[in-house]
Amino acid sequence: MKWNAIITKSQYGKALRREKELNDLIPGSGENDELLLLRILIRDFEQRQAKLYGGDLQRIKTQPDSCWHF
């Protein structure tokens, strides 16, 4: 799968689900590059959103899509 910067909450949710899938695979299955990239993209998104919400990660994860800033 090709990944780009995570901009929306929907993309964030897809990335989190895919990260979980990849974590469940056997180490060395050839998916390590995708997993590393997803972790970087997820962390970047969370850091950008945390600046808007004062670092409250739980609030970031529960905000409705209409409240997200780009």
Per-residue pLDDT of the chain (70 residues; tens, 9 = 90+): 788 999 998 999 999 999 999 988 877 777 888 999 999 999 999 988 887 777 666 666 666 554 554 4
Q: Which phi-psi region, left, alpha or beta, contains residue 21 (left: φ > 0; alpha: ψ -120 to 50)?
A: alpha
Give, in order, the Cα–Cα distances in Å from 34 to each of 5, 10, 30, 41. 13, 18, 9, 10
The H-or-E segment that residue 34 falls in is helix 32-53
Look up residue 53 and give its two tokens.
């919400």
Q: Which pLDDT does position 64 carry in this prediction?
A: 58
Q: How far apart are CA 49 and CA 12, in angstroms?
A: 11
Q: What is the pLDDT of residue 63?
A: 62
pTM value?
0.72
